[in-house]
Amino acid sequence: MTPPARHDRISFVAGPSAEAQDALAQLAARYGNAEPDNADVIVALGGDGLMLKTLHDYMRTDIPIYGMHRGTVGFLMNEFSTVDLHSRLDASRDTVIHPLLMRATDVHGEVHVHHAINEVSLFRQTHQAARLRILIDERERMSELIADGIMVATPAGSTAYNLSAQGPILPINAALLALTPISAFRPRRWRGALLPNTAFVVIEVLEGDKRPVAAVADHDEARDVRRVEIISDKTISMRMLFDPGHSLEERILSEQFGY
């Protein structure tokens, strides 16, 4: 008896756009649509936003996720095709990523715990700049940063908001995190830091009543925070699948040369 294909049972998820929903209908008719809990692989049809949502939804399942571009931004997606999907999946290469864990304590003492695949960001909530204190591994590294905010980005997220804020692009397999200020006023020429991915980052909000700050882990927000703790969560490993020659490693490398 021929053994079943490694990715025989496929579960499809799709974004709300007509393009993504049409792709879902075509692929489900051709390959079936398994329940996620019984699937060998989840195929996400949409853009990068849908990929991030799918990674969050199935973060603890160890089910690999393969994206096909049927949305706006497709940096994390493979090219769309309805042809020979089983062979493409079997030939795909996986990239393992770990999310960030954010613990944000607000003015009332409530602790908000969320994971981030791209970045954890702190933002000023009003017209006044935030005043922040930065500690790395319980050692003060900056007594005061005056800025619109700051973020900690993973290699997977380094080409997203981090890059827009002039942060560095990190190779996907680099054991690093990017600590990037957002419109820093003081120190005026500080452009951030590269941290080992084992670093325990603490950001304390100074003058929080006068200069309130929000903390955001990808899309989960906590308002009026006073202290934010960030660490890479090695207990969670997510597997993203890419076609040969189009790996996330290659895309991030190409991004550094302007492609």
Rounded Cα–Cα distance for residues 88 and 36 (Å): 19
Contact present, 40 and 7 (Cβ < 8 Å): yes
With vertex at residue 97, the alpha carbon angle to CA 159 and CA 166, rounded to the nearest 5 degrees, is 20
> Which one of the listed residues 40, 48, 84, 90 is annotated catalytic?
48
218 included as an active-site residue: no
Q: Say how many CA atoms lie within 13 Å of 70 toward its Cβ.
A: 27
* Beta-sheet strands, E only, within the chain: 10-14, 41-46, 65-69, 93-97, 100-106, 111-116, 119-124, 130-136, 139-153, 176-186, 193-196, 201-206, 213-217, 220-222, 225-232, 238-242
CA distances from 34 to 37, 43, 251 (A): 8, 11, 30
Helix locations, 159-235, DSSP H: 161-164
State the catalytic residues: 48
